[in-house]
Amino acid sequence: MNTQANYVLTLSCGDRKGIVAAVANSIASQNCNICESAQYGDAETNRFFMRISFNAPEGMTKEQFEEGFGPVATGYGFDWKVHDLSKKPRVLVLVSQMGHCLNDLLYRNSTGQLPMDLVAVASNHTKYQSRVEHEQIPFHYLPVTKDTKAEQEAQIVELVERENIDLVILARYMQILSNELCERLAGKVINIHHSFLPSFIGAKPYHRAHARGVKMVGATAHYVTADLDEGPIIEQDVSRVEHFHSVNELIAQGRDTESQVLARAVRYHLEHRILLNGDRTVIFK
């Protein structure tokens, strides 16, 4: 039986000559085989980014590879991490009363399109409880009011810690996370929203956009930070709007785009294709 291990190495550092060669030589010297490699040098920040997927020989552990790679990483000052692809990230989805993104994620999960272990779904409403439980995924009802927000977020934190959650997906979860929760889960929360921000903030954005005659509808997926809807952007897309589209058609079009954009952003994260570059992202697709 083939017990070859599959890993992904991600790194960033100050840009200089010889990085690619040093990384490749170190991987080869440990009898590993590079399957995919991508790199980018940011001329503005003089920062270098790299993602390599590779196969390790039978019996080699992640820790053994890290020990062998350590001298090169230290010599070049890498900010680096090795990801074991045999261990699927554990995911929690938060949702409120709009289920298009949740339904899309449930379908992709059931068909194996996303390399994740969908551990649970939590919501401040029970609307999608039966839908989630039909997929044999635990559902957690976590109601919240203005006065109980701190207690409810403490329940989310407890769930994240108890289930060893690696990624939280806000699938149109219509609650603003506190600054404390954002900081606690930094780099582990992805959100999706329509592209009408900041022009159409608040209730019924599609209705107001339709009244203004917008010519395109889109969506943005980003990491959540304390700055509302201003975290590092992962993925965006748009579709054209025609003059004959009704409000309902505009909403349906927007929800389709939101679902697709969120799924792509989640996949990039699960496959370790995203590296942070300040407030921006480097994504090796």
Structure tokens at 170: 């806000």
Sheet holding 5-14, edge to edge: 33-42, 47-56, 5-14, 79-84
Other beta carbons within 10 angstroms of residue 192's beta carbon come to 25
Of 171, 216, 163, whose CA–CA distance to 193 is shortest? 171
Catalytic, out of 84, 229, 237, 256: 229
Tracing tokens 């949740």 back to the chain, one arrives at 102
Other beta carbons within 10 angstroms of residue 128's beta carbon come to 22
- Catalytic-residue membership of 279: no
Structure tokens at 90: 């554990």
Residues ≥6 apart with Cβ < 8 Å to 200: 208, 209
Instruction: Give the C-alpha separation, 128 to 125, whole Å.
Output: 8
Q: Where are the alpha helices (DSSP H) in 117-272?
A: 129-134, 149-162, 179-184, 205-212, 247-270
Sheet holding 216-223, edge to edge: 139-141, 117-123, 90-95, 167-170, 189-194, 216-223, 233-240
Catalytic residue numbers read 229
